[in-house]
């Protein structure tokens, strides 16, 4: 029996999307869907939910929950990762509260910035444990990483862990639908080319029947920018740098030094920047689960509509050798020629029976590569801190982060990092 292992299966809604999709995929019938989570109550919830779904869909997949991670991974052909180390409480709260004492405000804090740095530092050791298990019990498995911070974690799994990894993010999939809906443009027949780094990939080309749609996109965006809306940061970046970026405005507000500045408070209202947005989302998600748990977990008639998640389509492509195109996060093996080879890039990839094959992009426009490199600097130094265990590289990563450096002095940055290390306590390995 072939096996798909889902790590972090207590994320029941996401597990339903990914594994419900697998249950609806003909080539995946008969697979074991192996569930693992450190929260045994949530693990049991997901097991019950997926067994109900299996009954409703008439799937021949087998659902099995494991409390031993190695057993869950043993013999797996595919592994899906959706963990969050430290959760909302205490770690995400810490990521926001300590920097706030220094006047450093964040919107999401899960990818770059000081929040992203510390999320990486507490997550990498856990993923290295996954990698050691995979090397021993399923060394040929493909690892689909959905966990943020995407670029650094995918890099660590590939280079340090030696695992066949591709990072998957919704931002490439949602880029055109969300942009065109906001601008009231029809998406049918649109062709695109997107490449860069995770959460900062660029809509390099957008055409219909060979006609460049960028002039019309920019015309409508300038009209829309006259009133406040949720995408003001991305539109501003497009006007200034020429291209639209894949990830949302609340994310990109904290990836650059231009939008959150203590000496220019008017920018917050002008660009509609939502501080502490990730905290609010986390609370809403916790409250929502409390009300929807019975509907999902104990619903014998639970149904499912196949989602837009890449996972099941990728598994199907590998099983059937029918090609499928994704936007994937992979090592930059010369794919984007003006970004560092040590970095993870987000590029079009072909998935088929041979696995995941990234495509060559070449040079990005120089201003876009320059923006990407400002984020890559912090990514690579965060990885260096994790690998060496040296505290100085945590400081380096934070000092080179565009948003942090725009707000704080060097002394403040170092002191804040020290406070964050202390506040995280046992959630972090020891640094010297």
Greatest CA separation found in the chain? 61
| Residue 210's CATH number | 3.90.1820.10
Residue 346 resides in a domain: yes
Run of H or E residues at 193: strand 190-197
Which residue's structure tokens are 């450190």? 38
Residue 198 resides in a domain: yes
Residue 91 resides in a domain: yes
How does pLDDT run across 18-69, given as a tens digit for each residue?
999 999 999 999 999 999 999 999 999 999 999 999 999 999 999 999 999 9
Residue 313 tokens read as 């389509």
Q: Which of 159-168, 179-188, 284-293, 391-400 has the lowest mean pLDDT?
A: 284-293
Geometric angle at alpha carbon 382, from 381 and 385, rounded to 5°: 85
Predicted pLDDT of residue 173: 94
Half-sphere exposure of 252 (CA within 13 A, CB side): 26
Residue 32 resides in a domain: no
Q: Are 14 and 82 in contact (CB under 8 A)?
A: yes
Of 160, 165, 71, which is closest to residue 355 (Cα–Cα)?
165
Domain that holds residue 173: 77-275+309-427
Strands (E), 268-403: 324-331, 344-352, 355-358
pLDDT band (50, 70, 90) for residue 1: low
Which residue's structure tokens are 């798909």? 4
Predicted pLDDT of residue 339: 98
Residue 19 resides in a domain: no
Per-residue exposure over 393-427, b if at least 16 CB sit within 10 Å of its own CB, e if not: bbbbbbbbbbbbbbbbeeebbbebbebbbebbeeb
Residue 271 resides in a domain: yes
Residue 268 resides in a domain: yes
Q: Are 190 and 207 in contact (CB under 8 A)?
A: yes
Please report, to the nearest 10 degrees, the dihedral formed by the alpha carbons of residues 160, 163, 164, 166 taken in order: -70
What is the C-alpha separation between 430 and 65, in angstroms, rounded?
33
Region of residue 81 (phi > 0: left; psi between -120 and 50: alpha; otherwise: beta): beta
Looking at the structure of the chain, the number of domains it has is 1
Q: Is 170 a catalytic residue?
A: yes
Residue 33 resides in a domain: no
How does pLDDT run across 372-405, given as a tens digit for each residue?
999 999 999 999 999 999 999 999 999 999 999 9
Q: 55, 170, 199, 424: which is the annotated catalytic residue?
A: 170
């Amino acid at each position: 029996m072939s096996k798909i292992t889902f790590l972090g299966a207590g994320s029941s809604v996401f597990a339903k999307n990914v594994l419900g999709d697998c249950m609806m995929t003909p080539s995946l019938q008969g697979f074991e869907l192996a569930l693992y989570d450190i929260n045994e109550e949530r693990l049991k919830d997901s097991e019950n939910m997926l067994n109900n779904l299996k009954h409703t869909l008439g799937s021949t997949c087998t659902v099995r929950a494991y409390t031993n991670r190695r057993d869950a991974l043993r013999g797996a052909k595919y592994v899906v990762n959706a963990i969050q180390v430290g959760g909302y409480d205490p770690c995400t709260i810490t990521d926001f509260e300590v920097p706030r004492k220094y006047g450093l405000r964040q919107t999401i804090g899960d990818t770059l910035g000081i929040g992203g740095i510390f999320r990486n530092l507490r997550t990498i050791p856990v993923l290295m444990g996954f990698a050691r298990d995979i090397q021993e019990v399923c060394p040929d498995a493909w690892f689909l990483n959905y966990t943020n911070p995407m670029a650094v974690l995918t890099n660590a799994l590939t280079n340090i862990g030696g695992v066949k990894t591709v990072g998957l993010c919704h931002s490439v999939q949602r880029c055109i639908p969300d942009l065109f809906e906001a601008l009231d443009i029809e998406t049918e027949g649109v062709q695109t080319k997107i490449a860069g780094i995770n959460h900062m990939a660029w809509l390099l080309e957008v055409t219909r029947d060979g006609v460049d749609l960028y002039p019309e996109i920019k015309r409508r965006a300038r009209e829309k920018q006259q009133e406040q809306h949720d995408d003001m940061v991305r539109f501003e970046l497009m006007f200034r740098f020429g291209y639209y970026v894949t990830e949302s405005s609340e994310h990109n507000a904290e990836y650059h030094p231009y939008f959150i500045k203590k000496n220019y408070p008017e920018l917050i209202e002008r660009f509609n920047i939502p501080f502490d947005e990730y905290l609010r989302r986390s609370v809403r998600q916790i409250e929502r689960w409390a009300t929807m748990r019975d509907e999902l977990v104990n619903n014998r008639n639970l149904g499912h509509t196949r989602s837009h998640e890449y996972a099941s389509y990728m598994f199907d492509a590998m099983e059937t050798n029918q090609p499928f195109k994704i936007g994937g996060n992979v090592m930059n093996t010369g794919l984007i020629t003006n970004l560092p080879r040590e970095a993870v890039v987000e590029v079009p990839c072909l998935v088929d029976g041979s696995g995941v094959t990234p495509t060559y992009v070449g040079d990005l426009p120089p201003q876009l590569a320059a923006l990407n490199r400002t984020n890559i600097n912090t990514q690579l130094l965060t990885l260096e801190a994790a690998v060496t265990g040296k505290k100085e590289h945590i400081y380096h990563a934070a000092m080179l982060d565009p948003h942090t450096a725009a707000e704080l002095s060097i002394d403040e940055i170092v002191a804040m990092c020290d406070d964050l290390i202390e506040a995280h306590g046992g959630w972090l390995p020891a640094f010297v």
